[in-house]
Structure 1
Amino acid sequence: MRRSRLFRRLMATTLPVALVLGSAGTTAVAEPLRGRSMSSYGLAGGIDAPTAEMLPEGTLGATISWSDYGRRSSMVFQVLPQVTTVLRYSRVDGVREFENEEAITDRSLDVRVQLVEEQGWRPAVAVGLQDFLGTGVYSGEYVVATKTVTPRVRVTAGLGWGVLAGKPRLIDASDEGGTPNADEWFRGSAKPFASVSWQVNDRLDVVAEYSANDHIARYNTGQVFQQGKAPDSNLNLAAFYRFGETYQAGLYTIGGNTFGAQFSIMLNPRQSPYPSGLAKAPAPVRPRPAPAADPDGWSGVWSQDPTAQPAIQTALGDAMAKEGQALESMALSPGRAEVRVNNTRYVSHAEAIGRTARLMTRALPPSVETFVITSTAQGIPTSSVTLRRSDIERLENTEAGQIAAVSALTDAPATAPGLVQTDGIYPRFRWSVRPYLSLGFFSAKDGLTYEGGGQARATYTIAPGLILTGAIRQRAFGNIERRGPAIPGQRGRNYTFDEYRDNPALETTPEGVPRVRSDTRMYSGNNKPTIPELTLAWYAKPAPAVYTRVTAGILERAYGGVSTEVLWKPANSPLALGAEVNHVRKRDFDQLFDFRDYEVTMGHVSAYYEFPQGFTAQLDVGKYLAGDKGATLSVTREFANGWRIGAFATKTDLSAEEFGEGSFDKGVTLSIPLGWATGQPTQDRVSTRLRSLSRDGGAQLNVNGRLYDNVRDSHSAKLYEGWGRFWR
């Protein structure tokens, strides 16, 4: 159907305006309309049809929904107050895919932008794209408005295209998916949808909905109903029950002839189970005595005693060790003290600096007025915070912004005059034995995969910047079995482990692409001990804002070799530039000390930029593990308490056919500090990278200890975002 000139103009202006308004989260006058229930597609509001509602900013949630029309697992993230994204994995019944299964597995991505916030008589208005990167089973677009009629009743009305209008897009059965279907957005005839939600009480919500979705999938090989039949009517009904602020369960009916159930969990980085934490309170600032009470301390004559600095350094180091910090070295004069500190406990470096400053007031003689606290990472100095002792004494009971205003952040030189290394700090040996759990999501064949066991890990710091690290892992349970990649032309069938291991010719795809990641299951499911990492790393700082790293050994479970890196990152700049070159060889599948034939030299140049509200963008351009060349764009948001949520996309010179299903690499990253959930201060994290498929194009090397992540914690953007913890 041909679009009118008015409609084309509307779409040409609506989408850019949506992006601009959605990104201006801090300029909004009204609060975005908050959703009270989750739809079967994993977004706020509705059942099968959308609303204009949002979630609290930063919310990360998951919804599992089941009915005869589909089984959907969705992960939602409220990127900004007006921008919601959803990554979804679905099994759609009624459509044969392979192995005689009457279902297809579908991965899809949605985005919803609230253009106008509810205020007074004006409803909230949103525009959304549904399944705009998948194969199109759920593909549709909408413009929707939601209005609060009474404090407990909301009404929604909107126009939908695609499946939301009962006009599903034609899907090419051979389509690999993964590319935007922009030429179909807001195309064809539109149909209305509507809903009414009633908040019965603080826990129960009831929703009635009119939807035009007839649950049909149209393939170029034929049209099929997703359940074998269409709904009896366009009316859907649901009831949702909340358990506290985190969990919600729901029952719904679609068209009166199909029933479904769902469960949702919502987490918000801003709402920790232990808002104040369970850490021991820091020692209070100790005011200096009057000059008449300690004339020698104020005059500086103490500095002439050769035993003074060793005694002070030992006392301060012992006190800092109880705070989870290592005093690596110290320079002391009558009026100035510099300490170089390795923070091993606190997610926020500002908290580590604040606790160090308090301890310095208790350990140093009264004549020392200038405190320089230099943070280190991997044995190299990253930044220095300079404070006046009188300001610390004067501002202890004020808000942290005042102490920030009188502090100075500078780049730290590699060495400084008068630094004395703390006795016994090097060499240093640390070890741990703990369980591990690996989860796999969005597998078309296996669904959720998991593997668990035990891991022993040890680190031997030989000297500042010279670190030996090793780990050994033993699997105890799991449903991840060892197998080769899919057999070309036989969808649903894979090479056996022995077939793939014994035939090196299979390690290249028929299109000539080396299998650098698509055979990752060959490294899983090993019931014997494995060595995931064994490296020697050397970190250095040849100039105040320049850092280097050289790592050699077994770098990750699939590759070993040498990785080199250089980073330029001034302490007060949001911009950083880096370069990395790696020469690696593929490991044998037993993950011990043998290697296979494939080796490659790869690397990239990188640019990093830190934006307000905790956003960091990273652009990598270079050569990847399979020898393909291209670029990766990553965007990550980090909250003050350490939560990190991001997304990435990689496009290289491989064609969609060479890359395979998915067309290009993309995924989501998530990292949650354990301290958020336990209340105990720790730098340990639970991290994962979710990607719908493991393909060879755009594959990066996984190396621990990359420079940017080590350096940025004590630099301006990250440090001052967490400055509110200085007095914690």
Structure 2
Amino acid sequence: MKLRFIIVAFLPYSLAHAEPRYTQSDFGGVGLLQTPTARMAPAGEISLNANRTDPYSRYSLSLQPLDWLEGTFRYTAISNRKYGSEALSGSQSYKDKAVDVKVRLWQESHWLPEVAFGFLDVGGTGLFSSEYFVANKRYKDLDFSLGVAWGYLGNRGDFSNPMNILGGDYNDRRDVNSPGDVNTNTYFKGSPSLFGGISYQTPWAPLSLKLEYEGNDYKHEPQNNNQIQDSPINIGAVYKLSDSVDLSVGWERGNTALFGITLHTNFVSRKAPTKTFDPPAQPLPTQEPVTPLTEVDWAEVSKQLDKNAGYKVERISQRDSELTVYGEQSKYFYSAKAVGRASRILDNNANSDIQWFNLVNKRYNMPIEETSVPRSTFRDVVNNEQDLVNLHRTTEVNRATPRIEKTLFQQKPDPFTYGFGLGYQQNIGGPDGFLLYQVSAYAEGQYRFTPGTWASGGISANLLNNYDKFKYDAPSGLPRVRTDVRKYVTTSDVTMPALQLNQARQLDQDLYGMVYGGYLEPMYAGVGGELLYRPMGERWSIGADLNYVRQRDFEQDFGLRDYRTITGHITAYTKLPFDLDAAVSVGRYLARDWGTTIDISREFSNGVKFGGWVTRTNVSSEEFGEGSFDKGIYISIPFDEMMSVSTMSRASIAWAPLTRDGGAMLHRQYSLHTMTDGRNQDAFYENFGKITE
């Protein structure tokens, strides 16, 4: 599995959880021990879980994108089974991959319980696949659960399948034969069992206790790995070490100890670190400036706008009572914060002729949005003389339109920018090593020939890795467009991940275009272009990209291999109910297969995004190989949420069960949809309160 990873620190921030606390089960996801409950963590919760109950060690990531939807990605290490041949896998134990989903049907009321249904191992090998319905009812500090499960959680088979009323043979649950597929032909089949239990929040706040009756008798374990069960009753305890760390112990099957740890945080209720390394916002003037606008030191104002508000100023102009700054925001993730800081600086320098401050945000010379702030209202709100709602109502975010105005100042920003850092990448879950990693140092730079034409690239040097264990190349029935990943990461210690020339332009008031060429990503070089139609303030847009690419040499230098192809997609972006975002791409992939990728995500007001994707192409399951089709989940977290200095950078974490050649997209370095995010008015107004910071 290819994993693009940036470490996230789970720090002890306070969480606003209801009592009794909702803790994770052995499998990941809110539950007791071996059984799930109908409870859900608050939206925005993320949990990393690790536990050991011989012979299973389970490692899982659980996400709560919505109040009623929970998703879990899990690895299970079966310690008494080998992954493969000793020559390839050594002593590594077998690893099972799985994706779980739980959906709440309705919330608890005075009389009715909370009810949910869910699926275990819905997108993995199917070794632990199960379906269930479960209900919960709370009484004071006790939380009772009762459910019915098919498959692994219900292997005891207490009674005949009630689904037989629908016709067909629902008592027959056949073995899963398509690892990684969504095996709907087995859903709710076989004889089910009851399960349930009680969680108790003790008077000592850090401690909660669990008691459960499970529906598995361990006589039908995967890989004939049957276990002795002396009792179907499990007991456990969870100790809250801190607000973000839970320790678990238990006694399962009447004869086996459980030990576990959970790291968790909530990206909605937690508070981002104080920006102690940001310069303080400028105070408002005690007296209104009287200097004529033509005599203001606008070069100095431009420096202040850069240092304090993050705007790389291109031009400052006046039209009647409006003062307009054209520039590129490069520092503040929250645009309202940048606009507020810039307004303070302008208020300190503009005389009473100016009543409006306009900030035109540009990306590579493309005007994205124009924010207009009423000067007097802004001043009154900062001085606590008016409510913020008045400023919210009168501040406008519109498309930037050309107009006749007087230029007060103009400059050409520094064309060259650069940066250094450390990189980390890993492959996880392979037969030659569960965790294969590399730590590297990188240098990257960008040179702008004109505001809209630039070259960008970088160099990466290996510092530390264990890729000497990386021996396995997955089989493929398609051109090896991604499964040669081992050769790309092990052939050379110094690589050039990308080096390309780009030009971007606004073609019409809502239409943007970009062309690019060069070494586009570690595996491909080529040329391409993208168009995006994104109406200002609308919750939909549509784009298209087309690329001619050729595979790069494994050394990732200037050499090229023989494989070449044309790839591209038409992508529609739209807002869905429940604050979900969808991107649907239709087109041709790197292996010359045709199909569709559906990406569904939830982005919270602070920019944290939980999402997942599924790709289906005209490649058969047999040609695709293990996994049957491409899918995965991801998290995107603004560094602003984790650091004591403001930044627009993001941490991206993506998990895909397997690296395969079918449904593989080109990893383009730039995306017009991302570059035009300023056209999302919702993001500005959702964080409008930051305009006074």
TM-score, structure 2 normalization:
0.89
Deviation at 1:208, TM superposition (A): 1.6
Given that residues 155 and 191 in structure 2 are in contact (C-alpha distance below 8 angstroms), is that contact kept between their aligned partners in structure 1?
no
Given that residues 433 and 469 in structure 2 are in contact (C-alpha distance below 8 angstroms), is that contact kept between their aligned partners in structure 1?
no
Query: Is 1:594 the equivalent of 2:559?
Result: yes
Deviation at 1:79, TM superposition (A): 1.6
- Describe the shift of the 1:379–1:484 C-alpha distance in structure 2 as closer, same or farther (beyond 3 A): farther
Query: Is 1:51 the equivalent of 2:54?
Result: no
Aligned to 1:74, the other structure's residue is in SS state strand
- Describe the shift of the 1:65–1:709 C-alpha distance in structure 2 as closer, same or farther (beyond 3 A): same
Q: Percent identity?
A: 28
Query: Is 1:358 the equivalent of 2:344?
Result: yes
Q: 1:404 aligns with which of 392, 411, 415?
A: 392
Aligned to 2:256: 258
- Counterpart-to-counterpart distance in 2, 1:417 and 1:442: 60
Q: 2:105 aligns with which of 84, 106, 115?
A: 115
- Describe the shift of the 1:671–1:287 C-alpha distance in structure 2 as closer, same or farther (beyond 3 A): same
Deviation at 1:417, TM superposition (A): 3.3
- Counterpart-to-counterpart distance in 2, 1:636 and 1:471: 30
Aligned to 1:603, the other structure's residue is in SS state strand
Query: Is 1:659 the equivalent of 2:624?
Result: yes
Query: Is 1:314 the equivalent of 2:299?
Result: yes
- Describe the shift of the 1:72–1:170 C-alpha distance in structure 2 as closer, same or farther (beyond 3 A): farther
Deviation at 1:286, TM superposition (A): 3.6
Aligned to 2:218: 215
- Describe the shift of the 1:566–1:401 C-alpha distance in structure 2 as closer, same or farther (beyond 3 A): farther
Deviation at 1:582, TM superposition (A): 0.7
Residues 366-422 of structure 1, C-alpha deviations (whole Å, 9 max, x = no match): 101232211112232101122332332333335544322112222124x54347596
Aligned to 2:116: 126
Q: 1:237 aligns with which of 229, 232, 235?
A: 235
Aligned to 2:26: 40
Query: Is 1:644 the equivalent of 2:633?
Result: no
Deviation at 1:611, TM superposition (A): 4.3
Number of residue pairs matched by the alignment:
654
Unaligned runs of 5+ in 2: 1-16, 158-171
Given that residues 348 and 725 in structure 1 are in contact (C-alpha distance below 8 angstroms), is that contact kept between their aligned partners in structure 2?
yes
- Counterpart-to-counterpart distance in 1, 2:409 and 2:197: 68
- Describe the shift of the 1:532–1:486 C-alpha distance in structure 2 as closer, same or farther (beyond 3 A): closer
Aligned to 1:146: 136
Q: What is the RMSD computed on CA atoms of the aligned residues?
A: 2.5
Query: Is 1:73 the equivalent of 2:62?
Result: no
Given that residues 32 and 117 in structure 1 are in contact (C-alpha distance below 8 angstroms), is that contact kept between their aligned partners in structure 2?
no
1:279-318 paired onto structure 2 within 5 Å: 279-286=278-285, 289=288, 294=290, 302=292, 307-308=294-295, 311-318=296-303
1:64-103 paired onto structure 2 within 5 Å: 64-93=50-79, 98-99=84-85
Deviation at 1:630, TM superposition (A): 0.5
Deviation at 1:102, TM superposition (A): 9.4
Letter in 2 for 1:313: W
Q: 2:209 aligns with which of 206, 209, 231?
A: 206
Aligned to 1:26: none
Given that residues 426 and 461 in structure 1 are in contact (C-alpha distance below 8 angstroms), is that contact kept between their aligned partners in structure 2?
no
- Describe the shift of the 1:128–1:364 C-alpha distance in structure 2 as closer, same or farther (beyond 3 A): same
Aligned to 1:477: 464
- Counterpart-to-counterpart distance in 2, 1:443 and 1:437: 18
Residues 140-186 of structure 1, C-alpha deviations (whole Å, 9 max, x = no match): 111112222222x222221111112115986657x342222223222
Query: Is 1:625 the equivalent of 2:573?
Result: no
Structure 1 window deviating more from structure 2 (73-82 vs 118-127): it is: 118-127
Answer 1 or 2: higher relative contact order, Cα 8 Å, separation at least 6: 2
Aligned to 2:467, the other structure's residue is in SS state coil
Letter in 2 for 1:229: Q
- Counterpart-to-counterpart distance in 1, 2:474 and 2:115: 48
Deviation at 1:287, TM superposition (A): 7.0
Letter in 2 for 1:405: R
Deviation at 1:696, TM superposition (A): 0.5
1:369-518 paired onto structure 2 within 5 Å: 369-396=355-382, 397=384, 398=386, 400-413=388-401, 415-418=402-405, 420=407, 424-481=411-468, 486=473, 488=475, 509=476, 511=477, 513-518=478-483
Deviation at 1:612, TM superposition (A): 6.5
Deviation at 1:216, TM superposition (A): 4.6
Deviation at 1:74, TM superposition (A): 0.9
Aligned to 1:698: 663
- Describe the shift of the 1:613–1:417 C-alpha distance in structure 2 as closer, same or farther (beyond 3 A): farther
Deviation at 1:712, TM superposition (A): 1.4
Query: Is 1:578 the equivalent of 2:581?
Result: no
Letter in 2 for 1:88: R
Aligned to 1:434, the other structure's residue is in SS state strand
Aligned to 2:524: 559
- Counterpart-to-counterpart distance in 2, 1:341 and 1:450: 40
Aligned to 2:212, the other structure's residue is in SS state strand
Given that residues 84 and 431 in structure 2 are in contact (C-alpha distance below 8 angstroms), is that contact kept between their aligned partners in structure 1?
no
Residues 285-327 of structure 1, C-alpha deviations (whole Å, 9 max, x = no match): 44764xxx95xx6xxxx46xxx53xx44313212112213211
Given that residues 537 and 679 in structure 2 are in contact (C-alpha distance below 8 angstroms), is that contact kept between their aligned partners in structure 1?
no
Letter in 2 for 1:682: T
Given that residues 77 and 95 in structure 2 are in contact (C-alpha distance below 8 angstroms), is that contact kept between their aligned partners in structure 1?
yes
Aligned to 2:377, the other structure's residue is in SS state helix
Deviation at 1:644, TM superposition (A): 1.9
Q: 2:125 aligns with which of 115, 135, 160?
A: 135
Unaligned runs of 5+ in 1: 1-30, 489-508
- Counterpart-to-counterpart distance in 2, 1:721 and 1:119: 31
Aligned to 2:627, the other structure's residue is in SS state coil
- Counterpart-to-counterpart distance in 2, 1:645 and 1:248: 23
- Counterpart-to-counterpart distance in 2, 1:93 and 1:231: 18
Deviation at 1:436, TM superposition (A): 1.3
Aligned to 1:668: 633
Deviation at 1:628, TM superposition (A): 0.4
- Counterpart-to-counterpart distance in 1, 2:441 and 2:246: 34
Deviation at 1:135, TM superposition (A): 2.5
1:130-209 paired onto structure 2 within 5 Å: 130-151=120-141, 153-166=142-155, 172=175, 175-200=177-202, 201-209=204-212
- Counterpart-to-counterpart distance in 1, 2:238 and 2:266: 20
- Describe the shift of the 1:520–1:116 C-alpha distance in structure 2 as closer, same or farther (beyond 3 A): same
- Counterpart-to-counterpart distance in 1, 2:408 and 2:131: 63
Given that residues 173 and 189 in structure 2 are in contact (C-alpha distance below 8 angstroms), is that contact kept between their aligned partners in structure 1?
no
- Counterpart-to-counterpart distance in 2, 1:34 and 1:603: 50
Letter in 2 for 1:590: E
TM-score, structure 1 normalization:
0.85
Aligned to 2:47: 61
- Counterpart-to-counterpart distance in 1, 2:275 and 2:579: 22
Given that residues 130 and 151 in structure 2 are in contact (C-alpha distance below 8 angstroms), is that contact kept between their aligned partners in structure 1?
yes
Given that residues 92 and 103 in structure 1 are in contact (C-alpha distance below 8 angstroms), is that contact kept between their aligned partners in structure 2?
yes
Residues 637-658 of structure 1, C-alpha deviations (whole Å, 9 max, x = no match): 2222221221111111000011
Aligned to 2:353: 367
- Counterpart-to-counterpart distance in 1, 2:80 and 2:400: 64
Deviation at 1:568, TM superposition (A): 0.6
- Counterpart-to-counterpart distance in 2, 1:542 and 1:431: 29
Residues 436-468 of structure 1, C-alpha deviations (whole Å, 9 max, x = no match): 111333435422222102111111122211111
Aligned to 1:5: none
- Counterpart-to-counterpart distance in 1, 2:28 and 2:306: 46
